[in-house]
Amino acid sequence: MRPTRVILAVAAGALAPALVLTTPSMAASTASTAPVITAATAGSPYDDLGLDDLRVAISRILADPASGKRVIREANALLDSGTVEQMRAWLETGYPLAQAEDDKVALFRILAKPESGKRVVAEVNRLLDGNDAQEIRAWLETGYPLAQAEDDKVALARILAKPESGKRVVAEVNRLLDGNDAQEIRAWLETGYRLAQAEDDRVAIFRVLADPKTSATVRAAAQAALDDNGPEALRHFLETHR
């Protein structure tokens, strides 16, 4: 069911018509099929803004790292040729709709990440089922880092349990668990783990070479792995010659 959802979401994104920026009423007509969004329809803070101030408001949205492809595309189109009325209509209703679509795309990308663990996947699927734009935005800002941090801790515990985890890997994992810094843990899982495992693998290969029972064929393969010095070559030797 989940793969089907991804396929449908991609297809829907490809077929979705561009937002027509004319009047607030036309922009609001698409809201019936969009996620739940609370948008101002009266007393808008944009009513009294002139062209220059509206352009500043849209430029700030462009500078927001949370702005995705649809938001950026529509904001640039308005800055290029939008009227005052179109800018106001978009800021009031079009922007929330575009941001909601970009946020859903962000959820699907998170699902596709190999580092997304059980908690992240469960929460993303719940958000996609609920389809509440404000809840999705809040989760992307604060809930996602918390869920990813929990999944990363689980990943560390699994690494500790691996038989190939040597002294350096075990020492670094324990240090990370003691420090409990989510950003440091994520960075180590992305780059540090590979390097620490390679060092442990190199030590294991030297032990193979030091064993008088090691055959000439295995010795040659071990030396070739050391000469290559790539983490993948070291791990491959240990997995195939032990």
Same domain, 33 and 97: yes
- What average pLDDT values come out for the chain (242 residues) when binned by 10 residues? 40 37 38 45 75 95 94 97 95 96 97 95 98 97 96 97 94 97 96 95 94 93 92 92 74
Which residues are paired to 36 by β-bridges?
A: 132
Same domain, 16 and 136: yes
Asked if residue 154 belongs to a domain, the reply is no
Q: What's the gap between Cα 88 and its chain centre?
A: 32
Distance CA 54, CA 65 (A): 19
Same domain, 98 and 20: yes
Same domain, 167 and 135: no
pLDDT at residue number 44: 77
Tell me how far CA of residue 236 lies from CA of 164, 169, 240, in angstroms: 12, 18, 6
Same domain, 141 and 119: yes
Which one-letter DSSP state was computed for residue 15?
H
Asked if residue 155 belongs to a domain, the reply is no
Which residues are paired to 132 by β-bridges?
A: 36
**Residue 49: which residues within 8 A CB-CB, separation 6 or more?**
57, 88
pLDDT at residue number 80: 95
pLDDT at residue number 208: 94
pLDDT at residue number 180: 96
**pTM score, two decimals?**
0.70
The residue type at 203: V
Structural domains counted in the chain: 2
Range of the domain at 67: 2-149
Which one-letter DSSP state was computed for residue 192?
I
pLDDT at residue number 45: 85
Same domain, 191 and 132: no
pLDDT at residue number 27: 39
Same domain, 120 and 217: no
Per the listing, tokens 């070291």 go with 234
